[in-house]
Structure 1
């Protein structure tokens, strides 16, 4: 049985009543085509089952218009929102996105993970580094595959971007102390997390700057149950009037644990989280938080990758920092009045 030949660019041009050059422009994401014409061409492509030859496009233009994204996982709130930012910005620029995860491969080198993308039709890679990688300082990307790192540490050879993990913690301590609290307890994220490490360091340094002895640290795993257990314990700390949890899920569990042990929030204990991930999830949300602009980080990381693909120099050795934003709701009480 003979198979029908795949539709060609000329077939699409004939069906849409345009030139083959116009079809090529639409297939390559050009903006130099009128919207009505683009819609007509896309409708003809769909009807005929036409698929652009991306390999041929890459040979002609030197790019696949596809960006790889390397992540440790696709389940954490921050990673999901970063990925959404990358995907939306890529779509606006006519790029596709290929995702590769290395969950459970904690010791995999950055070089070996990026090498995986060299076998794929991608023009650049955005690597989201939640954990330390053994070759971070030595990693030097190949000349033909630009790499952008979303990383707490600036890299010597790649453009780097991340949220202001450290600065959000110092701002939280300043905020709670300004409300009359004499100290701030901290429920930290897991030890493997670079973000958790920097947030804990910011908390410690801010308290030291005010000459306040460090209270006991409680360590969670980013999930609400670990915050709940910390809340049960912290309810027994007599001097505990303010708690900073390293993310909103733990902060939410923390509140439940405090209440279960007879404390009121914020009348007895003030609680603040980080990331603003509960908005739209928890009804009548009262959690005060530092909003991390993960979507903006993803969009800017894609922009850095695209600009390199197009031959633009993007600075390396310095980190672009996206500041957090304080969102005041109802879980912090001013006790200075």
Structure 2
């Protein structure tokens, strides 16, 4: 099928009975156009299928009003919610987003990701950095392209934002110990994950700080099946009265494994997860969890990159923290009485 030629600014001007300059003003959002004229031009644009030339718009205004977003993948719950927060806030501010995923292999670096994104018409880049990456400490963003990192730990060269992964774990341990449990078993995420490593460290430090026994960990892969296998194994440990899983899928899997082995939750074993991702997916959800405010992280990350794109300075070397919140349901039992 032959492709229909794209309508030009001159075509729209002829259809609306105005000058090309007036069409340009409407396309660029200028207020110097009468409302009735604007409506006529917009109607002509829609009729002819006119698309504004954003490259020309960037030359005039100095910005494309488009933000690049780089992720390792778009399928995990946290990444999807962060991306949703970025996209929603961008739309509310008349920005668009351009999404890319990280390359695999030796090219999986910040430098490579930003070089790829520099080929796109974007004003700045948000990188959701969920895994360890070789050039994190050495990466310096280009002067012409600001970068915000959604990641654990501050960067000396980029503004960073994330939830408090470490503090999430210390809060979970303190909560379970306050319910009378002598220690807390942990099903951690994969070692490639920055979040999993921080949650693991927070769990261990919190137990050591109060002199509680630090049990062996069970390493999961974020999936419910790995939690199920851990639950089966822990059901045979008489010392295990409380389990902290690094995400809700593994926590739910652990509950299923415990129950398959004859244990009751929370009567025999208390279980707590992280992220509150099962709402609307599991009927009569009873899992106590630490809710991560991923949408807000995405929204705040967009605000940070937009400020830089519009000429403001955003501090580096300090991480902006969006704290998690405890959501109590029915999977934790108080045994202190």
TM-score range, shorter chain: over 0.9
In 1, Cα distance between the equivalents of 2:31 and 2:306? Answer: 17
| Contact map agreement 1:246 1:273 (CA 8 A) in 2 | yes
| Contact map agreement 1:107 1:133 (CA 8 A) in 2 | no
Q: Kindly tell me: are residues 202 and 25 of structure 1, through their superposed partners in 2, closer, same or farther at Cα, counting changes over 3 Å? A: farther
Q: Kindly tell me: are residues 19 and 334 of structure 1, through their superposed partners in 2, closer, same or farther at Cα, counting changes over 3 Å? A: farther
Matches within 5 A, 1:64-79: 64-79=64-79
Q: How many pairs are equivalent?
A: 336
Matches within 5 A, 1:49-68: 49-68=49-68
Q: Kindly tell me: are residues 314 and 18 of structure 1, through their superposed partners in 2, closer, same or farther at Cα, counting changes over 3 Å? A: farther
Residue 122 in structure 1 maps to residue 122 in structure 2:
yes
Unaligned runs of 5+ in 1: none
Q: Kindly tell me: are residues 229 and 8 of structure 1, through their superposed partners in 2, closer, same or farther at Cα, counting changes over 3 Å? A: same
Which residue of the partner structure matches residue 160 of structure 1? 160
User: How much is the aligned-residue C-alpha RMSD, in angstroms?
Assistant: 2.4
Q: Which moved more, 1:89-98 or 1:28-37?
A: 28-37
In 1, Cα distance between the equivalents of 2:36 and 2:331? Answer: 52
Matches within 5 A, 1:1-337: 6-9=6-9, 11-12=11-12, 23-24=23-24, 26-28=26-28, 41-102=41-102, 104-105=104-105, 108-337=108-337
- Partner SS state of residue 195, structure 1: helix
Q: Kindly tell me: are residues 7 and 332 of structure 1, through their superposed partners in 2, closer, same or farther at Cα, counting changes over 3 Å? A: same
Q: Kindly tell me: are residues 36 and 220 of structure 1, through their superposed partners in 2, closer, same or farther at Cα, counting changes over 3 Å? A: farther
| Contact map agreement 1:106 1:131 (CA 8 A) in 2 | no
Unaligned runs of 5+ in 2: none
In 2, Cα distance between the equivalents of 1:284 and 1:17? Answer: 61
Deviation track 1:155-189 (CA, whole Å, cap 9, x = no partner) reads 11111001110001000001111111111100000
Q: Kindly tell me: are residues 11 and 129 of structure 1, through their superposed partners in 2, closer, same or farther at Cα, counting changes over 3 Å? A: same
In 2, Cα distance between the equivalents of 1:274 and 1:3? Answer: 50
In 2, Cα distance between the equivalents of 1:239 and 1:35? Answer: 73
In 2, Cα distance between the equivalents of 1:165 and 1:274? Answer: 10
Q: Kindly tell me: are residues 3 and 268 of structure 1, through their superposed partners in 2, closer, same or farther at Cα, counting changes over 3 Å? A: closer
Task: State TM-score, norm by structure 1.
Answer: 0.93
| Contact map agreement 1:29 1:94 (CA 8 A) in 2 | no
| Contact map agreement 1:123 1:146 (CA 8 A) in 2 | yes
Q: Kindly tell me: are residues 283 and 36 of structure 1, through their superposed partners in 2, closer, same or farther at Cα, counting changes over 3 Å? A: farther
Q: Kindly tell me: are residues 3 and 258 of structure 1, through their superposed partners in 2, closer, same or farther at Cα, counting changes over 3 Å? A: closer
In 2, Cα distance between the equivalents of 1:230 and 1:36? Answer: 67
